[in-house]
Amino acid sequence: MPDRPIALDEYPIHQAPLSMRHVATGDRNAYDRCIFHVLDHSGRALLIAGLGVYPNTGVIDAYATLRVGDRLHAVRASDALTDDRLALTVGPLTITVEEPLARLRLTCDADPADPDGLSYDLTWTAAFPATWEPHHTQYRGDRLMLEGRRFVQAGTCTGSIRVAGEELTVTAGEWTGTRDRSWGVRPIPGEEAGRAGEEMRPEGFHWVWCPVRFDDRFVMVIVQEDADGHRTLNEASLVRDGVRDVQLGWPHTDITYRPGTRHPERAVIHLTDPGRKPLELTAEILTSSPLAVGAGYPPPSSQLRSSRGDPHADDWQHGTWRGRGWTDRRSYDLSDPAAHPHAAYGVTDHAARFTLDGRTGYGIFEHGSFGRHDPSGFTGYDSVAQKGAR
């Protein structure tokens, strides 16, 4: 059948001489997706939800995970991508853009066969304007592995979450919502990495990503470093309505880890205002959700995936074809870290209470540290924090 125009082609939004059915690159790893974090200020619950489109593999998928106590409840769905790119729905999971950049609705339908399973109906409302993150690129050898454009935003959430026979009422004063939208090229599992994958494995990777909502301001911090501490991505900015983004200098992080792990318990991020006044953004971890468990984000090291016996690490990953109409629901016990060894080698999203200049805010302390990282004193993949270490 010949390629035909789709509904979006009616609008003057084209960025390349192609139908809106197509993206401007033939790279199989092209993607367009979002992630939401909804956190209870008491640390009782952390909901993470996202949806992704992979136009060159013909896949659309979505997920939601909810951590309450030591239990992580997950819903994942995948299907064939259609020409209706405005239909952000996969199985029971739907995102509705009610007002662009201002109000979105997140829903997860209940499973009639499991009425105690995870479901929710939430309205996410922006509290501050969306702000760009730095243009993100990553190479392995001479190949561009990742190129992404992102914006981030903080807001409030209202509605309800139901799980295990209990209903959590989500209110604007007691919950915070953050979100991230990104698109570009990002590795999808399943591709043969070739010589570069075998001979150019990174020695280490260190990542901190912090969107934080205060009553009158939004703060965004991003740090990505190589094994020797070389900074490859850097951002520290403050956003307020009617005020141009304020740059907060070159962030430095002091992280206190749980002894014997790389699990952060608290952190101090050192910032500088335009007048050179030092500022300290402190984070106290409330609860944590490893993205390698349930949410479809694989650990970055393929040799760890193959050598360790986590039965859940590869149960589903973003962009992978699972057939039409695939939906999966499951629950994980996070009380025993040894049951999910890959979680330690993947990025973890930590709901956190933050303080800055006498103000208290809430947001996400997203962290991943793998392999060698000289500034932290980590010497390799098996290196962990010692008692009292920072």
For residue range 85-134, list pLDDT tens digits in order: 999 999 999 999 999 999 999 999 999 988 889 999 999 999 999 999 99
The answer to whether 174 and 157 are in contact (CB under 8 A) is no
Q: What is the pLDDT of residues 350-379, one digit of tens each?
A: 999 999 999 999 999 999 999 999 999 999
pLDDT at residue number 128: 95
Residue 305 has pLDDT above 90, yes or no: no
Q: Hey, what are 224's tokens?
A: 């990505």
Average pLDDT, the chain: 92
Q: Report, as an integer, the average pLDDT of 319-337.
A: 94
Q: Report, as an integer, the average pLDDT of 5-10.
A: 94
Split at pLDDT 50, 70, 90, the class of 70 is: very high
pLDDT at residue number 14: 95
Q: Report, as an integer, the average pLDDT of 152-170.
A: 97
Split at pLDDT 50, 70, 90, the class of 308 is: very low
